[in-house]
Amino acid sequence: MSNRKILITGGAGFIGSHVVRLLVNKYPGYQIVNLDALTYAGNLENLRDIEASINYCFVKGDITDEVFINELFAKEQFDAVIHLAAESHVDRSIMDPLAFVKTNVIGTAVLLNAARKSWQDKSNKLFYHVSTDEVYGSLGETGLFTEETSYDPRSPYSASKASSDHFVKAYFHTYDLPVVISNCSNNYGSHHFPEKLIPLMINNIINNKPLPVYGKGDNVRDWLWVEDHARAIDVIFHKGRLGETYNIGGFNEWKNIDIVMLLCRLMDQKLGRPEGESAKLITYVKDRAGHDKRYAIDATKLNQELGWEPSLQFEEGLSKTIDWYLSNQDWVKNITSGAYQQYYHNQYNAR
Ligand code: NAD
Ligand code: TYD
Say whether 268 is catalytic: no
Distance 140 CA to ligand 1 centre (A): 27
Mutate which of 18, 19, 20, 39 for ligand 1? The one with the most ligand atoms within 8 Å of its CB, which is: 39
Which of these is catalytic: 36, 133, 195, 253? 133
Alpha-carbon gap, residue 103 to 96, rounded angstroms: 12
Three-class SS state of 83: strand
- Please give, one letter per residue, the 3-state secondary structure of 227-253: HHHHHHHHHHHHHCCCCCEEEECCCCE
Domain residue limits, the chain: 5-188+224-248, 197-220+253-293+315-340
pLDDT digit string (tens) for 275-291?
A: 999 999 999 999 999 99
What's the Cα-to-Cα distance from 286 to each of 78, 290, 350, rounded to whole Å?
47, 12, 9
Burial class (CB in 10 A: 0-12, 13-18, 19+), 61: middle
Residue 5's DSSP bridge partners are 31
pLDDT digit string (tens) for 30-81?
A: 999 999 999 999 999 999 999 999 999 999 999 999 999 999 999 999 999 9
Can you tell me which atom of ligand 2 is nearest the CA of 196? Answer: 2
> Is 197-220+253-293+315-340 CATH 3.30.70.260?
no
292 neighbors 138 (Cβ within 8 angstroms):
yes
Three-class SS state of 297: strand
Predicted TM-score (pTM) of the model is: 0.98
Handedness of CA 202, 205, 207, 211 (dihedral sign): positive
Burial class (CB in 10 A: 0-12, 13-18, 19+), 306: middle
Cβ of 86 below 6 Å from ligand 2: no
Task: Please tell me the predicted confidence (pLDDT) of residue 1.
Answer: 63
- Please give, one letter per residue, the 3-state secondary structure of 252-263: CEEEHHHHHHHH
**Minimum CA distance residue for ligand 1 atom 28:** 84
Alpha-carbon gap, residue 152 to 143, rounded angstroms: 15
Q: What are the mean pLDDT values of the chain's consecutive 10-residue runs (351 residues total)?
A: 91 98 98 98 97 98 98 98 98 98 99 98 97 98 97 98 99 98 98 98 98 98 98 98 98 98 98 98 98 98 98 96 98 93 93 82
Three-class SS state of 101: helix
Distance 179 CA to ligand 2 centre (A): 30
Say whether 133 is catalytic: yes
Assigned superfamily of 5-188+224-248: NAD(P)-binding Rossmann-like Domain (3.40.50.720)
